[in-house]
Structure 1
Amino acid sequence: MLKHPKFTQCILTCALFSLLFVSSCIKHPDAGPGLHNVKLSKFYAEHWYDGKPMYADSFNVTYNSKGDPIKVRGKFISTGYPQILISYDNQGRVKAILHAYDNGFYETANKYIYQPNSNVVIDSIFHFGAFNTSTLEILSTLGGDQLENRLTFDNQQRIVKIVQTPYLYTNDGSMIKTISYNNAGNANKISTTITSNLQGNSSKDEFPVYDNKVNFHRLHPVWQLIDWDYSKNNPFTATNYNNLGLPTEINFSYPAPTLSGEGLFRLPFEYMKLSYQ
């Protein structure tokens, strides 16, 4: 039976988009000339309170044989300062990101589900529970109802919309973020709408200001996903950069200027010194 040519074209277009989207999830972003094999190897960080350092630690980043980060671990692991554990599926896509302790319990856990033939990824968030230390499978949650972030990506595999239900800080309603990118490849307008019976409805627009250096999130897709940061440049001016244009010393007020509204890597730090290899 002959199919209508427009129907055939539609099927081919959808299949091609699906292939491109899935492939992009396993392909490293182009960070720039001379940066293809550069990795974040470690960093020193401080959390300040009332003008004084309250917590300081040094973190090492561990990679698997494919060059994907699987662990970000400090010397001191405690409530509010967990290690980060990352797992991948058989297509190399991020499967789960856990901010966890050493005893098989996590502080927060993000589980990612990739929708077939779609540019939408479901990010389910769990608070306080147990996990399998070998597979990082989430075994339980003690924090009540889970949250869901519905992440929509554009054809350059950048997040352009986030729908969070319920809203994290009131556990009701929803939050919608819409991200627009300029010709420089930076998120130049972020519109946030919050619907909440407890807090009331609100909306705001943000217009981040960027440096002209390399955004270190571009060194690996997992850094981009954790902070929802797909911009080419940094939404801050670092104190120091290396000869490749990567920030090596950052000093800012918490929360850091990230789309998540939290610190870099979802950790509460105001000062960081980063090293690369």
Structure 2
Amino acid sequence: MKCVQHAVGLTVLAMLFVVSCRKNDATAVPDPTGADANIFSRVEHMYHIKDSLSGRTWDFVYNKYQDPEAIITNVVTDGNPNQYFLYDWQKRMVQYIRMFEFENGFETFREFVYDPIKRNRIIRDTGYSFGRIVNGRPVEYTQKLLRRYWYDSLDRVIQERWNLLEPQYPDSMTFTYQYDQRGNLIRNGVEYDDKVNIHRASRVFMFLDRDYSVNNPFRSRAYTQKGMPKHMETGLHNERYFLDLDLDDANITYPSDGPPVPLP
């Protein structure tokens, strides 16, 4: 399958994603949707320990169904806003908003539409960039983007298509995602560990990053008893690997770890 790219107006957006353009092989791998059942696998707190970002933190808030409701940082900036997740009565994510702290400003505002047959599959979303929220709706935004999604038999997104909804820039881009025999996303220059991928703490995390990998593309200094990484040092090939957070060197805590304090 080829990766078709028409880059005018979408080049900057495309830099947020790592794309693999190889033949897809939906081989039998562990079910990637069952990893979030255990409360002790929830990501609870992240603490950056490197250079100018030292001391930056992210706290994860969950609802009673153990789905993420918010990720709150102690330093809100461009590229590092707070994140909010909204759900419908069927416990499906319907909005994902990355917000600043002034005048209801947002970095991105996304709304999701589900397949009427396979009701837990998101088939498209509309995203708005850099605007404000008024009466619950995005206004004064700079860009509007439509994304469509296709899945394999394991409910992993294997293709998405972007269309910029602006008459003067009728551009589109198509991305494909392939997995190896171990169930890991094929990415150049990456070596996986043999533990539990951090995205598998939530179906929401897997979808947003289009990464349903079984293992982590980095080696943690320590892991929980459940095999979740307690440290993330991502390096060049994994920059902003998790939920677009700037986590090139950060510690991670989970509910079973006790208070959210830096690891030694």
TM-score by length of 1: 0.69
Q: In structure 2, do the counterparts of structure 1 residues 160 and 115 end up closer, same or farther at CA, with 3 Å as the change threshold?
A: same
Partner of 1:93: 92
**Structure 2 letter corresponding to 1:130:** R
Q: Measure, in 1, the Cα distance between the counterparts of 2:125 and 2:48.
A: 27
How far has the Cα of 1:112 moved from its partner? 1.1
How far has the Cα of 1:276 moved from its partner? 0.7
Unaligned runs of 5+ in 2: 1-30, 256-264
Matched-pair contact (CA < 8 Å) for 1:111–1:125: yes
Quick check: 1:222 aligned with 2:204? yes
User: Matched residue of 2:137: which SS?
Assistant: coil
How far has the Cα of 1:252 moved from its partner? 2.2
Matched-pair contact (CA < 8 Å) for 1:213–1:233: yes
**Structure 1 letter corresponding to 2:45:** K
Q: Aligned-pair RMSD on alpha carbons?
A: 2.8
How far has the Cα of 1:130 moved from its partner? 1.9
Considering only CA atoms, is the larger Rg found in Structure 1 or Structure 2?
1
Matched-pair contact (CA < 8 Å) for 2:128–2:138: no
Identity %: 23
User: Matched residue of 2:56: which SS?
Assistant: strand
Q: In structure 2, do the counterparts of structure 1 residues 139 and 125 end up closer, same or farther at CA, with 3 Å as the change threshold?
A: closer
Q: Measure, in 2, the Cα distance between the counterparts of 1:77 and 1:66.
A: 27
Provide Cα deviations, 1:80-131, integer angstroms capped at 9, x if missing partner.
2211111011211111111102332211122111132365611222111222
**Structure 1 letter corresponding to 2:252:** L
Partner of 1:40: 43
Q: How does 1:235-250 map to 2 (within 5 A)?
A: 235-250=217-232
**Structure 1 letter corresponding to 2:62:** Y
User: Matched residue of 1:214: which SS?
Assistant: coil
**Structure 2 letter corresponding to 1:272:** A
Unaligned runs of 5+ in 1: 1-26, 191-205
User: Matched residue of 1:156: which SS?
Assistant: coil
Provide Cα deviations, 1:41-68, integer angstroms capped at 9, x if missing partner.
111136x7xxx42464111111112221
Q: How does 1:111-190 map to 2 (within 5 A)?
A: 111-117=111-117, 121-131=123-133, 137-143=136-142, 145-166=143-164, 173-188=171-186
Partner of 2:262: none
Q: Measure, in 2, the Cα distance between the counterparts of 1:247 and 1:87.
A: 27
**Structure 2 letter corresponding to 1:123:** D
**Structure 1 letter corresponding to 2:127:** I
Q: In structure 2, do the counterparts of structure 1 residues 255 and 182 end up closer, same or farther at CA, with 3 Å as the change threshold?
A: closer
Quick check: 1:31 aligned with 2:71? no
How far has the Cα of 1:239 moved from its partner? 2.9
Matched-pair contact (CA < 8 Å) for 1:30–1:36: no
**Structure 2 letter corresponding to 1:268:** D
Q: In structure 2, do the counterparts of structure 1 residues 54 and 207 end up closer, same or farther at CA, with 3 Å as the change threshold?
A: closer
Matched-pair contact (CA < 8 Å) for 1:162–1:176: yes
How far has the Cα of 1:182 moved from its partner? 2.8
Provide Cα deviations, 1:183-227, integer angstroms capped at 9, x if missing partner.
322223x6xxxxxxxxxxxxxxx4743211001211111111221
How far has the Cα of 1:153 moved from its partner? 1.7
Q: Measure, in 2, the Cα distance between the counterparts of 1:141 and 1:94.
A: 24
**Structure 1 letter corresponding to 2:207:** L
**Structure 2 letter corresponding to 1:218:** R
How far has the Cα of 1:28 moved from its partner? 8.7
Matched-pair contact (CA < 8 Å) for 2:234–2:241: no
Q: Measure, in 2, the Cα distance between the counterparts of 1:248 and 1:71.
A: 20
Instruction: Considering fraction of residues, name the structure with more strand.
Output: 1
Greater CA deviation, 80-89 or 178-187?
Answer: 178-187
Q: Measure, in 2, the Cα distance between the counterparts of 1:226 and 1:120.
A: 11
